[in-house]
Structure 1
Amino acid sequence: MTAPLEAARFLIIDDHPLFREALHSAVQMAYPDVDTVEARSIAEAVDVLASGKSFDLALLDLSMPDVRGFEGLLQLRTRYPRLPVVIVSGYEDAKIISEALSYGAAGFIPKSARKSELADAIRTVMDGAVFVPETYQAGAQGADSIDRADLVSRLSKLTPQQLRVLRMLQQGLLNKQIAYELQVGETTVKAHVSEILRKLNVYSRTQAVIEVSKLDNADLFRDQV
């Protein structure tokens, strides 16, 4: 159940000031009395949420400066599972939309939508439904989508620190290098790696990196506007 409108608060996470302003305007069109707080990065959003403020909805751009692909969404869903997160993105590929929903996004709104359409989409999510563009066809991804959804489910079990370790494994860092970057002992890093392997149901660091590479959307993002 959503909070009374006069008490509702939205978190807008986007590094472009013009689009933050456009989202703020759309939110006000949907709910004139709602309060909005802005964040220019995932780190800033996490700081805002860690301050104890409660939010009824987060509007998140996928292309943030401090994360790649779906890392930002995964961080927010892992740390704050009760917070509905809606993706507002310039990437409208059906594969990206499907994956965002698999990560637990409460909706996916194209940035190409008009202000009134943004407002309607926000109302839809606040009413408890999942919003997707009319052109999106659920289930169109076939078996590949099912496999990716299973991997996403396993990744969602990782803690924020384990996600950081996993990203460093992808970068080819050794345990001692990871320990230096995170300012922890090598024993702690080894424990994190063991938990990552267990939760991903793989048997080696290399296999973990190969599995996660299946969710790397760099090629999809590269040609999008």
Structure 2
Amino acid sequence: MNHGSDVARFLIIDDHPLFREALHSALRVAYPGVDTAEAKTIAEALGILAGPLSFDLALLDLSMPDVHGFEGLLQLRTRHPRLPVVVVSAHEEPKIISEALSYGAAGFIPKSARKDALAAAIRSVMEGAIYVPENYSGRPPEGEGADRAEMVRRLSTLTPQQLRVLQMLRQGLLNKQIAYELQVGETTVKAHVSEILRKLNVYSRTQAVIEVSKLDGTELFREQF
């Protein structure tokens, strides 16, 4: 949190310049003296957060170019657990909202919201509320809630490096390719994969990818793949 100044500071994470400007505009309505930074990728956002500035809130688009599904939100929550993250997304399906909240999002604001509604939602989160759209019922799909919540809990135990390896497994990369990307040995990659399988309570790389993909929301993944 930004305790060194009375000015609220926000990090906007979105790869579309027009919507970044729309969020800037909404933030200026909510907080006229607002200070903002912006990132076009999750990697850029993590770089900013690793720097000297502190932020009161991050506003995150789910559909980022360097991650799939909820991986960006999970990385932010894992590496910066004290930073509230509000998802601002064009995907408004109840299943996706439920999943974002289960990953620890401080709120979910549809991109279709008007500027004044966006500003009001951001103010409510800054005051400690968890914002969801008015028409969101909050009920998970029948028979899926407990299993999904357990897998989310298991995912939250992965280290940042294990999350990166899991992301690459989902991209279909082989151990040798993952080792090259991470600049580590194949033995290290194998150790990470074994630990991922153990923590997720699955028996193969394929099963891990299948089980995790179930969490991402059908509509969201249909557009991203």
Shorter-chain TM-score above 0.5: yes
Q: Separation in 2 of the partners of 1:63 and 1:4?
A: 32
Unaligned runs of 5+ in 1: none
The 8 Å contact of residues 69 and 218 in structure 1, kept in 2 or not, is answered as no
The 8 Å contact of residues 58 and 84 in structure 1, kept in 2 or not, is answered as yes
Q: Separation in 1 of the partners of 2:122 and 2:4?
A: 15
The 8 Å contact of residues 91 and 221 in structure 1, kept in 2 or not, is answered as no
The 8 Å contact of residues 11 and 37 in structure 1, kept in 2 or not, is answered as yes
Structure 2 residue 124 is matched with structure 1 residue 124: yes
2:98 aligns to what? 98
Q: Deviations over 1:84-123 (max 9, x none)?
A: 0000011110000000001100000001111110011001
The AA in structure 2 aligned to 1:36 is T
What's the offset of the Cα at 1:164? 1.6
What's the offset of the Cα at 1:209? 2.1
The 8 Å contact of residues 57 and 85 in structure 2, kept in 1 or not, is answered as yes
What's the offset of the Cα at 1:5? 7.5
Q: Separation in 2 of the partners of 1:223 and 1:79?
A: 27
1:170 aligns to what? 170
RMSD over equivalenced CA pairs, Å: 2.0
Q: Separation in 2 of the partners of 1:31 and 1:205?
A: 46
The 8 Å contact of residues 2 and 127 in structure 1, kept in 2 or not, is answered as no
Q: Separation in 1 of the partners of 2:202 and 2:149?
A: 16
What's the offset of the Cα at 1:44? 1.0
Matches within 5 A, 1:28-107: 28-107=28-107
What's the offset of the Cα at 1:204? 2.8
Instruction: After superposing the two structures, state which structure 1 stretch, 145-154 or 120-129, moved more.
Output: 145-154
The 8 Å contact of residues 5 and 34 in structure 1, kept in 2 or not, is answered as no
Instruction: After superposing the two structures, state which structure 1 stretch, 106-115 or 134-143, moved more.
Output: 134-143
Secondary structure in structure 2 of the residue aligned to 1:7: coil
The 8 Å contact of residues 67 and 167 in structure 2, kept in 1 or not, is answered as no
- Identify if the C-alpha distance between structure 1 residues 223 and 181 changes in structure 2 by more than 3 Å, giving closer, same or farther: closer
1:195 aligns to what? 195
What's the offset of the Cα at 1:3? 4.6
Task: State the number of aligned residues.
Answer: 224
Q: Separation in 2 of the partners of 1:5 and 1:132?
A: 28
The 8 Å contact of residues 86 and 108 in structure 2, kept in 1 or not, is answered as yes
What's the offset of the Cα at 1:218? 5.4
2:13 aligns to what? 13
The 8 Å contact of residues 15 and 64 in structure 2, kept in 1 or not, is answered as yes
What's the offset of the Cα at 1:4? 8.3
Q: Separation in 2 of the partners of 1:13 and 1:171?
A: 22
Q: Deviations over 1:13-56 (max 9, x none)?
A: 11111111111111111111221111111111111111131101
Secondary structure in structure 1 of the residue aligned to 2:122: helix
Instruction: After superposing the two structures, state which structure 1 stretch, 140-149 or 106-115, moved more.
Output: 140-149
Q: Name the TM-score, length of structure 2 as normaliser.
A: 0.92
Secondary structure in structure 2 of the residue aligned to 1:6: coil
What's the offset of the Cα at 1:181? 2.2
Q: Separation in 1 of the partners of 2:8 and 2:59?
A: 14
2:142 aligns to what? 142
The 8 Å contact of residues 60 and 87 in structure 2, kept in 1 or not, is answered as yes
Q: Separation in 2 of the partners of 1:60 and 1:46?
A: 12
Q: Name the TM-score, length of structure 1 as normaliser.
A: 0.92
Q: Separation in 1 of the partners of 2:156 and 2:70?
A: 11
Secondary structure in structure 1 of the residue aligned to 2:19: helix
The 8 Å contact of residues 6 and 33 in structure 1, kept in 2 or not, is answered as no
Sequence identity, in percent?
A: 76
